[in-house]
Amino acid sequence: MNKKQKTALIRIVAAGVLAVALHFVPVTGLPQLALYLVPYLVAGYDVLRKAFLGIRGGQVFDENFLMAVATVGAMALGSYGEGVEVMVFYQIGELFQSYAVGKSRRSITQLMDIRPDSANIERDGEIESVDPDEVAVGDVIVVRPGERVPLDGEVIEGSSALNTSALTGESMPREIGVGDEIISGCVNESGLLRVRVTKCFDESTVSRILDLVENSSLKKARAENFITKFARYYTPAVCAGALLLAVVPPLFAGGWLEWIRRALTFLVISCPCALVISIPLSFFGGIGGASRAGILVKGGNYLEALADTRTVVFDKTGTLTHGVFAVSETLPADGVSEAKLLETAALAEIYSSHPISRSLREAVKTPLDANRVDEVREIAGHGLTARVDDRMVAVGNARLMDSLNIAFTPCERTGTVVYAAENGRFIGAVVISDQVKPTARRAIERLRAQGIETVMLTGDAEGVAQAVGAELGIDFIRAELLPADKVQNVEALLKSQRPREKLAFVGDGINDAPVLSRADIGIAMGGIGSDAAIEAADIVLMDDDPAKIPLAMRISRKCLRIVRENIAFALGVKAACLALGALGVTGMQAAIFADVGVMVLAVLNAARTLAPVKDAA
């Protein structure tokens, strides 16, 4: 809770306590009005101020004016306590909505960690750390292991494994060497690289992605708040009706005081607190219920849009898959055990920091003794050789086996295949791949049961994408996409949507931030997702479980159903009471019921959104 919200909470509590205490103070008339004005102004001075500024600025009929007219009318009728209560409850609703949104929404610029802070430029044989903006095309920069590549360029010295998942969504690191192009925003995972810069920072991949986020955010339409649109017509209508009721009938029938009393009663009845409180509370209840299920929704408008979603677009790596590489299959040669194959390959890779090497070591359940290994020699783009227990071991890709003239059995499995040989004899292959999340298939099935079309857009290879998509049962698959390609695909899908239908995009990486912003609803993975993706998204799955998406849709539909019930109930009762009040059939008691009573019933109905929605079987 920020400072402004804490101040609002203190004002609400202080006004409520004062209002309750004044019920026991035995005063009447002007002294009573003066006393009640204190909690009324404590709770609602900002509403009155905004209403005044709106009138002065020519924007009269907004939510603040509606609340000001309603509460001032209540005070004028002598219903001082009610006037204070209406303002206090209204402020509670506003605080709830503000807290729900403000808790998670921060500036994109503060969280966008894709932008490198510095670049190591090589000048006269010395390494100098400078701002990336100061590096010119043709300069040589040095990228150390673990550092993010600051600018686009060409590798002129060194080789390494490059983690491009933040930009392209590729599940496996990309081997890079002399002559290869390198793009900014990637992470150098192993070797030292010297890179000749080919693009200035303003034209680099990093800058383009930042621009995509900003421009996509501008394109994303936001539905106007229902209450404000409702007040645009409702407020002038009821105010004009009250004025006519106070002036026109007395011109013909006399009884000015009676008709003024009816007009003021009319204003009290017209107070829309049942709507201005219950609707935000309904959304807040839905947001709270979703939060308890591990689904962070950044505002009621996103919860509302989710109920109209008919297409869900997924990223692959880190969204439908874990984004963590592991041994998925071992294929030992005849006469070689699975344990022997894994141990030999893991020992040979024991000194390597490559993700494939870590995967091999993690697959071995017994401790590995590094003293058993020596004479390790890495061969860029191929693999490595090492002496393990006085036996020469080769571990790497098919090119390594060919270069060493080792006969091997090719493996056509989906994923990265690591071949192993010992003393020139092939001993088997190990398949390493990203693992599909166990709940991903259930998520797709439940979305399909709700009539939702599913699409997968990924930067990964076509073969890997098709294999994952077929395993999960996804309707449409597009692979080998860069961030801009994903945005273009989502743009095309948005154009094909019917009116009022919404599209949601689910992703986790920096490369997903632009398309998360462009989609009607952006959903990010919160556990492993990047800060930029989480900030750009409208909904965050805190436990990275894709099965929470259909659950979120059920929560949103329940919330919208309750909101519509409250709108129909509040407007129906108020319409009846307004008609009866204008005819003099009902008095202040009916006005209080139409105001406070309807508000209480609507809030109780809104509280149903707090009840958990059971996950589908």
pLDDT tens profile 263-276:
766 766 766 666 66
Strands (DSSP E) along 292-356, which ranges? Answer: 295-297, 309-314, 321-332
Average pLDDT over residues 35-40: 93
CB–CB of 275/566 below 8 Å?
A: yes
350 and 361 Cβ atoms separated by less than 8 Å: yes
Which band of pLDDT confidence, cut at 50, 70 and 90, is reported for residue 202?
Answer: confident
Q: Which CATH superfamily is domain 323-436 in?
A: Calcium-transporting ATPase, cytoplasmic domain N (3.40.1110.10)
The b-or-e profile of 49-79 (16+ CB within 10 A means b, else e) is ebbeebeeeeeebbbbbbbbbbbbbbbebbb
pLDDT above 90: residue 610: no
pLDDT by residue (tens digit) across 89-127? 777 767 765 664 454 344 333 334 556 778 999 887 788
Residue 60 tokens, joined: 């009269």
Where on the phi/psi map is residue 14: left (φ > 0), alpha (ψ -120 to 50), or beta?
A: alpha
Burial 281-306 (b: 16+ CB within 10 A, else e): bbbbbbbebbbebbbbbbbbbbbbbb
> Which H helix or E strand runs over 483?
helix 483-495
Q: Identify whether the C-beta of residue 602 lies closer than 8 Å to the C-beta of residue 566.
A: yes
DSSP letter string, 51-115 = HHHHHHTT--SSHHHHHHHHHHHHHHTT-HHHHHHHHHHHHHHHHHHHHHHHTT---HHHH-TTS
Q: How confident is the model at residue 596 (pLDDT cuts 50, 70, 90)?
A: low
**pLDDT at 400 (0 to 100):** 92
For the sheet with 187-188, list strands across it: 174-176, 160-163, 187-188
Expressed in percent and rounded to 5, the helix, strand and coil fractions of the chain are 50, 20, 30
527 vs 497: CA distance, rounded Å: 31
The pLDDT of residue 41 is: 93
Cα–Cα distance, 101 to 5 (Å, whole number): 11
526: its two tokens: 């919160």
Residue 199's alpha-carbon distances to 163, 460, 523, in angstroms, are: 20, 25, 32
Q: Looking at residue 611, what DSSP letter applies?
A: S
pLDDT band at 215 (very low <50, low <70, confident <90, very high): very low
State what percent of residues in the chain have pLDDT above 90. 25
Paired with 386 in beta bridges are 393
pLDDT band at residue 341 under the 50/70/90 scheme: very high
Task: Give the CATH architecture of domain 289-322+437-550.
Answer: 3-Layer(aba) Sandwich (3.40)
Topology match between the domains 289-322+437-550 and 323-436: no
DSSP type of residue 148: B
Query: What are φ and ψ of residue 543, in 5° steps?
Result: -110, 15
| pLDDT for res 529 | 47
- At 155 the pLDDT is 92
Is there a contact between 107 and 127 (Cβ–Cβ < 8 Å)?
A: no
* Cα–Cα dist 447/466, whole Å: 19
Mean pLDDT computed over 239-265: 77
According to DSSP, residue 191 is labeled S
Of 141-145, 425-429, 465-469, give the lowest mean pLDDT range: 465-469
Name the pLDDT band for 310 (thresholds 50, 70, 90).
very high
pLDDT (tens digit per residue) in 433-450: 878 888 899 999 999 999
Specify the pLDDT at position 373.
Answer: 92
Amino acid found at 139:
D
> Of residues 62, 139, 152, 315, which has the active-site annotation?
315
Active site residue 315: yes
Alpha-carbon gap, residue 349 to 442, rounded angstroms: 37
Helix axes 598-606, 548-582, angle to 10 degrees: 170
In the predicted model, is pLDDT for residue 611 greater than 50?
Answer: yes
Confidence grade of residue 455 (pLDDT, cut at 50, 70, 90)? very high
Asked if residue 232 has pLDDT above 70, the reply is no
Contact 302, 528 (CB under 8 A): no
For residue 59, the model assigns a pLDDT of 72
Q: What is the mean pLDDT of the chain?
A: 80
* Beta-ladder partners of 195: 141, 155
Domain-wise residue ranges, the chain: 119-217, 289-322+437-550, 323-436
Q: State the first-to-last Cα distance of the chain, in angstroms, to the nearest integer.
A: 36
Please give the CATH architecture assigned to the domain spanning 119-217: Distorted Sandwich (2.70)
Average pLDDT over every residue of 268-292: 69
Higher pLDDT, 83 or 257: 83
pLDDT at residue 447 in the model:
93
Name the band, by pLDDT with cuts 50, 70 and 90, for residue 534.
low
> Can you tell me the distance from the alpha carbon of 543 to that of 293, in angstroms, rounded to the nearest whole number?
9
Confidence of residue 216 (pLDDT cuts 50, 70, 90): very low
Half-sphere exposure of 112 (CA within 13 A, CB side): 19
The pLDDT tens digits for 554-581 are 988 888 888 888 888 877 887 787 777 7
